[in-house]
Amino acid sequence: MTISYRKILAVGVLITSLAATGCARQAEASGERLSLSAALPTEVPRDTTIIVGDPVTQKALELSGEIKNLKADVQWANISGGPATTEAFRAKALDVGSVAEIPPINATWTGLQVKIVASKFRLDAVRHPIYELGVAPGVAATSLGDLRGKRIAYSPGQAQGALILKVLQKAGLTKDDVTLVELPSTGDIYLNALSSKQVDVAPIGGVSIKRYLSKYGSDGATTIQHGLRDDPTHLYALRSSLEDPAKAAAIRELVQAWAQATRWVDEHPQQWIDGYYVKDQGLTGEDGRWLVQRAGHPDVPGNLADVIKRHQDTINLLAKETGNPVIEAADLYDQRFVPVQAAAFSKEAKS
Ranges of H-type helices in 196-284: 207-216, 239-242, 245-267, 269-272
Q: Look at strands 201-205 and 131-135 and give their pairing.
A: antiparallel
Per the DSSP assignment, residues forming a β-bridge with 98 are 235
Confidence of residue 304 (pLDDT cuts 50, 70, 90): very high
**101-128 pLDDT, tens per residue?**
999 999 999 999 999 999 999 999 999 9
Per-residue model confidence (pLDDT) at position 27: 45
Angstrom CA distances, 296 to 121, 127, 225, stand at 10, 9, 16
Confidence of residue 167 (pLDDT cuts 50, 70, 90): very high
% the chain with pLDDT above 90: 86
% the chain with pLDDT above 70: 90
In the predicted model, what is the mean pLDDT of residues 331-335?
Answer: 98
Per the DSSP assignment, residues forming a β-bridge with 75 are 51
Report whether pLDDT(349) > 70.
Answer: no
Report whether pLDDT(347) > 90.
Answer: no
Confidence of residue 205 (pLDDT cuts 50, 70, 90): very high
Element (H, E) at 192: helix 189-195
Identify which of 169, 213, 166 has the alpha carbon closest to the alpha carbon of residue 194: 213
Report whether pLDDT(185) > 90.
Answer: no
Per-residue model confidence (pLDDT) at position 156: 87
Return d(Cα 294, Cα 251) in angstroms, integer.
Answer: 30
Return d(Cα 185, Cα 215) in angstroms, integer.
Answer: 19
Per-residue model confidence (pLDDT) at position 62: 98
In the predicted model, what is the mean pLDDT of residues 235-250?
Answer: 98
Residue ranges of domains in the chain, CATH in brackets: 5-120+231-345 (3.40.190.10), 131-224 (3.40.190.10)
Return d(Cα 89, Cα 265) in angstroms, integer.
Answer: 28
Please check whether residue 228 is in contact with residue 313, taking contact to mean a CB–CB distance below 8 angstroms: no
Question: pLDDT higher for 83 or 135?
Answer: 135
Per-residue model confidence (pLDDT) at position 157: 81
Q: What is 269-296 written as a DSSP string?
A: HHHHIIIIIITTT---HHHHHHHHHHH-
Per-residue model confidence (pLDDT) at position 16: 38
Confidence of residue 154 (pLDDT cuts 50, 70, 90): very high
**1-46 pLDDT, tens per residue?**
333 323 323 333 333 343 444 444 444 444 689 999 999 999 999 9
**64-79 pLDDT, tens per residue?**
999 999 999 999 999 9
In the predicted model, what is the mean pLDDT of residues 330-351?
Answer: 86
Per-residue model confidence (pLDDT) at position 21: 42
Local structure of 145: helix, strand or coil? helix
Angstrom CA distances, 263 to 54, 141, 243, 260, 351, stand at 16, 38, 29, 5, 9
The structure's pTM equals: 0.88
Per-residue model confidence (pLDDT) at position 348: 52
Per-residue model confidence (pLDDT) at position 31: 65
Q: Look at strands 114-122 and 298-299 and give their pairing.
A: antiparallel
In the predicted model, what is the mean pLDDT of residues 243-251?
Answer: 98
Per-residue model confidence (pLDDT) at position 351: 37
Backbone phi and psi for residue 213, each to the nearest 5 degrees, phi listed first: -70, -35
